[in-house]
Amino acid sequence: QQPVQSPQAVILREGEDAVINCSSSKALYSVHWYRQKHGEAPVFLMILLKGGEQKGHEKISASFNEKKQQSSLYLTASQLSYSGTYFCGLSGNTPLVFGKGTRLSVIA
Amino acid sequence: NAGVTQTPKFQVLKTGQSMTLQCAQDMNHNSMYWYRQDPGMGLRLIYYSASEGTTDKGEVPNGYNVSRLNKREFSLRLESAAPSQTSVYFCASSDQTGGSYGYTFGSGTRLTVV
């Protein structure tokens, strides 16, 4: 049950904000967020655990709504370096199942 | 630098040839994974090893075999390559299967089967 990410792609100007959503049909245990730049490996950004504990990146925040089975990633005051594809990954103490990704492009 | 090392980085195979992708991590992680990434499909799990001595199938295991050689190394073998196996392959590791501190990925192997 692959999570559904939205939007599929977004273009921002530097300094603008963005929200990326990740929805699941299954109950969530933990949600991971990763960023992948073109031609590179995915890099871990943060994890949200059931119960609300958040671990990870200091400049990007996220929320985890257990009732709605949804997580959202918030990027504020975007920088050129934020460009890339963002993946959410869901785990129920099993290996991560990843969404198809959201391509984010930040332009000057 | 600590992390996950994959070899080779690039490979071209002819249909029917075999090869082994190598992966090693030096973070003392218990769990290791092989994912494949195809355009528009995200990352799909091929096989994983929750701990040394165990391996399990993921979402797309057909045509692949794995070996957890020791705690550090986890290899992926294609016995008879097919064009449908053209993809980018990523190895990853984590402290445990749920990955409380995230997964660390290798730099990937770009495989083309002709």
pLDDT in tens, B63-79: 999 999 999 999 999 99
Q: Is the alpha carbon torsion for B20, B26, B92, A82 positive or negative?
A: negative
pLDDT bin (cut points 50, 70, 90) of residue B55 is very high
> How far apart are the C-alpha atoms of A1 and B36, rounded to whole Å?
17
Return all residues near B94 (Cβ < 8 A) that are at least 6 apart: B29, B30, B31, B33, B100, B101, B102, B103, B104
Other CB atoms within 10 A of residue B73 CB? 16
Whole-angstrom distance between the N-terminal and C-terminal Cα of chain A? Answer: 37
> How far apart are the C-alpha atoms of A106 and A83, rounded to whole Å?
5
Contacts of B106 in chain A (CB under 8 A): 41
- CB–CB of A5/A22 below 8 Å? yes
Distance from CA of A27 to the nearest CA of B (A): 15
Q: Which two tokens stand for residue B26?
A: 């030096």
Cα–Cα distances in angstroms (integers) from residue A11 to residues A34, A68, B104, in the given order: 18, 27, 28
Residue in A closest to B33 by C-alpha: A95
Which one-letter amino acid corresponds to residue B51? S
pLDDT digits (tens, 9 = 90+) for A30-58: 899 999 999 999 999 999 887 666 666 66
Mutate to test the interface with A, among B30, B37, B43 (most CBs of A within 10 A): B43
Regions of chain A with pLDDT less than 70: 51-58
DSSP secondary structure letter of residue A82 = G
Residues 58-77 of B with CB under 8 A from A: 58-59
φ/ψ of A80, rounded to 5, equals -55, -35
> What is the arithmetic mean of pLDDT over B18-35?
97
Q: What is the pLDDT of residue A55?
A: 60
> How far apart are the C-alpha atoms of B94 and B100, rounded to whole Å?
8
Q: Which two tokens stand for residue A56?
A: 């990870």
> How far apart are the C-alpha atoms of B84 and B35, rounded to whole Å?
15
| Vertex A34: Cα angle to A28 and A36 (nearest 5) | 150
Q: What is the pLDDT of residue B85?
A: 98
Which one-letter amino acid corresponds to residue B99? G
Return all residues near B39 (Cβ < 8 A) that are at least 6 apart: none
Q: What is the pLDDT of residue A58?
A: 62
The partner residue sitting opposite B98, judged by closest CB among A30, A40, A56, is A30
> How far apart are the C-alpha atoms of A22 and A72, rounded to whole Å?
6
